[in-house]
Structure 1
């Protein structure tokens, strides 16, 4: 069953027994992999069908396109490269993405437009280039319905320089529509991890007076399974977990957490893959492990919030890795709703986060996640999420981590006292979904009210305090 069908699979008796509210959902199918509209965007097959205008010359150099641009032109379009015969549908949403750099800092323009007069633009986007290659991603809604579209890079009105571009992609954004009509109980629809840290603790400590309360309030609830280096062969580990959920006809929630330099600001959950190449392989295998089975994935918590603790070179590498991750879920996990992590309401300004999300490839996936492992209320988080959507110009959805936000934030992030469990997983609630992404009772690190509990380790004391709000 596909993702939305999975979420509608509930009986009236189960709804009555669970005594939870029902929310609307459509039984329409989820998105298939979007077809690529650009031909030879990796330049693996030379330059064709790309063309260049006067004042430019082009060749493939080390797997990317190198364009020499003559200086002294009056207009950006006086020196161009592009590709024609792009088919666009009016009113459809698309994302144009590419890697680009230049021999010197320079501003150029990329467009999606008619190839012939009157050259009507549906996307005109200035881009600031430096000598470091950067991933750019621009979602837009087409005002054109044509088979004579064009993707172009307008390079004129500059001094002479060299332009480099690679991995050019134009795809229609996910055709999956947000849930629309028909009853669904999301608590029943999500998969309950039988081997979560709280579930294991409850099984191993059945005689403990706290076990029954932790089972009822936490381990019996749907929550995310986090995957990292500890998971072993990642493709097999992910496949086994998703297969178990599929067999139970439930929807699993997974977290990919293995990016190099992980938790750069917090420090308690440091680690990650040993190199960019290792990470690219790991995340590719992660997506392949899901395949065409339904799943929800949160991609790399804190990864776009940590920029204040990283230098520019590290930021560029991280952004490139995240963009690769979004492409892998887009291309290898067609029935997955994937969400880039977008920090929380108290960390990064919405406009800044929107820029980071664009660069990281949010246009390739369903949207973004907020408040992961933090405590901001659902209302604060949805206000923040909506502001990010607005700054993105629409075209994205978001989910909120409600695992520990029942009492809101007191300004501390590392095992603060007085926090409480939030709303269990459901559709809607101000966001596309409310999810328990952080596992309640798992420590943030040796800090706060758990000074001796390492990050990711379950503490029954933390769990009880979350149940009681103490």
Structure 2
């Protein structure tokens, strides 16, 4: 098990970094699509909502334990971490309760002149019934749930991250290459499940965008997952052109600099395959070709493809005509995990050790297509019980020396690990 004392060597620097408000916390390394730096941190950026219901009491107990053990630096930094804006996950199945909880959240945020980020997570067969299984049981139930969500928001400001993994994992879906994907739950109707997924997402976009002050973003996966053309085609089917855009890297660890490039490619691929060469999603350049996914120095090849095929087109789009995106930076300060040991299934996405907090939430990203860096996945929350594919270890995660908490539960060892390994620069 990771010992709390591991954080004793941590400096007080993080506490100072996290103490910055969302209005002034601007990543130094964020590059815009033309190489520009973030703009000045004058009070033009959105101030995002800081909820207290995200494991607030567990974190407070951990802070008290750290103080009593003499580790004041870790205690202070953990306090700053939970005081940073982050998403409120809406997962309850009862529509009446959902309306009340969302109404409470948006009222509190409005009273503070802050914008809440709501992660709506209730699709049938979400996460393909794996670690985060659950959700509505049918299309009608999901639509009623969306109506309840909208009723809780009404005319108050909100940013909705609509169904993480909702487009990355689709039950019984046939991809652009004609192959049936791996998510094939026996309980789902193989003939209708994929079409119903798009029906439900389109319904949610329509209902939420009918609200006057709600922004809606759909699942764009991340740069180490689906190719640009594949996710672009799914986003269009789900209604991205009616939404405000898409989100990247939720609950994952991919570096922000890669998401900025990937997001710009997805935006341009959507435009290319709907306005320039309709239906040609498979022709879009991606992180897999002509670039090499493991060699970031080659990603300029894909930039060049879009410059030639979209930027230089007779009907080249402005940034306002392209889909925008937001990036989850809550745990990507050190990028993805590369295991040092060999496991049957390393599960690199599941509670990887030695990761760090990423850029603080801000809408001042310095990139004309990136609307915000957000903490969508709550740092300190477990990804699930990760066994690394081992079957004779009583469920113990060998990287942490314990059975990991269930998905969404507070993971105190991981919380202090994220703080100890924070490395994302923040411009003063």
Q: TM-score range by the shorter chain?
A: 0.5 to 0.7
Aligned to 1:321: 200
Larger Rg: 1
Q: Could you say which residue in structure 1 is the equivalent of 2:351?
A: 415
Residues 296 and 17 from structure 1, CA distance in 2 versus in 1: closer, same or farther, beyond 3 angstroms?
Answer: closer
Higher percent of residues as helix: 2
Cα-to-partner distance string for 1:330-353 (whole Å, 9 max, x where unaligned): 11x221111011111111111111
String of CA shifts for 1:422-456, please: whole Å, max 9, x gaps: 01101133421000000001000011546331000
Asked if the contact 1:15/1:185 (under 8 Å) is kept, the reply is: no
Partner Cα separation in structure 1 for residue 125 and residue 236 of structure 2: 21
Alignment of 1:13-412 (within 5 A): 20-21=25-26, 183-184=42-43, 186=45, 189-197=47-55, 199-209=56-66, 212-213=75-76, 215-229=78-92, 233-264=97-128, 267-307=130-170, 308=181, 309-310=183-184, 311=190, 313-331=192-210, 333-393=211-271, 394-410=321-337, 412=348
The separation in 1 between residues aligned to 2:216 and 2:356, in whole angstroms, is 27
Please say if residues 403 and 437 of structure 1, whose CA atoms lie closer than 8 Å, have aligned partners that are also in contact: yes
Between the aligned partners of 1:236 and 1:315, the Cα distance in structure 2 is 31
CA contact (8 A) 2:363 2:373 kept: yes
- The unaligned stretches of length 5 or more in structure 1 are 1-13, 24-178
Contact 1:238 1:290 in 2 (8 A): yes
SS at match of 1:398: strand
Where does residue 453 of structure 1 map in the other structure? 405
CA contact (8 A) 2:23 2:42 kept: no
Q: Secondary structure at the match of 2:127?
A: coil
Q: Contact conserved, 2:254 with 2:336, CA < 8 A, in 1? A: yes
CA offsets, 1:296-326, max 9 Å, x none?
1100000100033145632111111111110
1:257·1:272 contact (CA, 8 Å) conserved in 2?
Answer: yes
The partner residue of 1:427 within 363, 382, 386 is 363
| TM-score, with structure 1 as normaliser | 0.59
CA 1:16–1:322 in 2, change beyond 3 Å: closer, same or farther? closer
- In structure 2, relative to structure 1, the CA distance for the partners of 1:360 and 1:16 (3 Å cut) is closer
Contact 1:22–1:184 (Cα < 8 Å) also in 2 = no
Number of aligned residue pairs: give it.
Answer: 298
Instruction: Give CA-to-partner distance per residue, 1:164-209, whole Å, 9 cap, x none.
Output: xxxxxxxxxxxxxxx999932648x111112221x22233445211
**Contact 2:86-2:374 within 8 A present in 1 as well:** yes
Check 1:182–1:20 CA distance in 2 against 1; reply closer, same or farther (3 A cut): closer
Q: 1:205 to 1:22 in 2, by over 3 A?
A: closer
Distance 2:252 2:260 in 1: 14
Which structure: greater strand fraction?
1
Aligned counterparts of 1:344 and 1:439: Cα–Cα separation in 2: 18
391-400 vs 202-211, greater mean Cα deviation:
202-211
The Cα of 1:21 is off from its aligned counterpart by 4.4
TM-score, normalised to structure 2, is: 0.65
User: Whole-Å Cα distance in 2 between the matches of residues 425 and 212 of structure 1?
Assistant: 21
Asked if 1 retains the 8 angstrom alpha-carbon contact of 2:250 and 2:377, the reply is: yes
CA distance in 2, matches of 1:17, 1:296: 16
Matching residue of 2:313: none
Distance 1:295 1:208, change over 3 A: same
Secondary structure of the residue aligned to 1:298 is strand
What's the counterpart of residue 175 of structure 2?
none
Closer/same/farther in 2, CA of residues 305 and 420 from structure 1, 3 Å limit? same
Q: Deviations over 1:109-152 (max 9, x none)?
A: xxxxxxxxxxxxxxxxxxxxxxxxxxxxxxxxxxxxxxxxxxxx
Residue 309 of structure 2 is matched in structure 1 by none
Indicate the residue corresponding to 1:67 in structure 2: none
Shift of 1:410: 2.4
Q: What is residue 438 of structure 1 aligned with on the other side?
A: 377
Conservation of the 8 A alpha-carbon contact between 1:378 and 1:405: yes
Greater relative contact order (Cα 8 A, min sep 6): structure 1 or 2?
A: 2
